[in-house]
Amino acid sequence: MNVSTDTGASGFSNLRRPLLIQRVVLTVLVCALIVALPLGPERFALAATILAVQFVSTWLIERKRRELLDQLGAYLLVEHLLVLVAGIICPPSYVTACMLGIASIGINAPYLTVHWLRRIAPVTVLATIIAPLVRDIDGALPIICISTLLCLHMTFNRSGAVLLAARATQRARHEADHDALTGLANRRVLVNRLDELDDDTETGLLLIDLDNFKEINDSFGHDVGDTVLRSVATSLSVQSDSVLAVRLGGDEFAVLIPGPAEETEAIADGVLATLDVPITAATGDIVVAASIGMSHSSTAASHELMRFADIAMFDAKRTGDGRSWYLPDPRQRASQRLMASRRRTREEHSLNEQIAST
């Protein structure tokens, strides 16, 4: 027995039914009201036209199974076309129809996408203009001017608000995913990218720790330290267009590299060669030393790449070789894990002492 777990689709389907019933009931009530109002003999033709158009358009829109907002836009487009029909078939209803059209845009603008708003507003303006041209309607000019100004105002106001909101959302997303100092992606981006990796995809990871960054900060100040971090970030970003450079925090960086292990090793060598070049700061040239731990999907699962690169990085610090691969041999791996754990403990102890001294 198959049981559907798509609650979103089910909820949307359940929402369609009351909306459809509401639409049918409102259409019948509007047509009844038109017949009851003193709008002349044309009111019967207008009511019949609205009834027919609404039922046919509802059937067509429901058949396409649109998303809810697209469905709303399609229904409103039909209703605003009926403003034109009302003015032509029944001139006495022209003013009322135009007012309803303008009010409809104002009420529904917050829920419409810019795409639909830019379709519906011109239809409303054309309806106010065409009906007086086809039928002799007194006092149409002020209505045309007012409706045009209101529609333009609401359309461009809404479009501007949507664009500003989109830009604000994009900026907030960028700030949430990037380090403010260096502009690199942050730890969250790396973790998400590692989670998305397929174990069959060849991927390497570099974990980079600046060995002498604390001395640089203590000797030259945090402004120079920030300059060094930004310079290192730039060096990582230019290694290859295909890599993801990340600042993990403090003086730790990471680089995610697609491709075979040879490519990971080549990027690591390139990083070390770049860091050999002194960094120009306000206090003079500064040489940065770094240790790089390397792991690759050929010897580790994707979710373990970061942990194994950290183990390898400690091994690079211990040996002074500059870079080191994660070793898959069980005895070597156990030794590396123990040394990495001790390093982390010392770092946490040092950090706690700094906090206590402040």
- Residue reference for tokens 């993990």: 248
Marked catalytic residue, from 179, 209, 251, 310: 251
Report the largest interatomic distance among the alpha carbons of the chain, rounded to a whole angstrom. Answer: 98
Compute the distance between CA of residue 20 and CA of residue 65 in angstroms, rounded to an integer: 12
**Cα gap 158→180, rounded to integer Å:** 31
Say how far apart CA 48 and CA 42 lie, in whole Å. Answer: 10
Distance CA 121, CA 118 (A): 6
What are the tokens at 255? 């680089």
| 3-state secondary structure labels for all residues of 309-324 | HHHHHHHHHHHCCCEE
H/E stretch holding 160: helix 140-177
Question: Cα–Cα distance between 182 and 232 in angstroms, integer?
Answer: 9
Beta strands, E only, 278-344: 279-281, 284-286, 290-296, 323-325
Show the tokens assigned to 307. Answer: 């942990």
Task: Specify whether 251 is catalytic.
Answer: yes
Among 215, 253, 211, 214, smallest CA distance to 231 is for 253
Q: What is the 3-state secondary structure (H, E, C) of 16-53?
A: HHHHHHHHHHHHHHHHHHHHHCCCCCHHHHHHHHHHHH
Could you list the active site residues?
Answer: 251
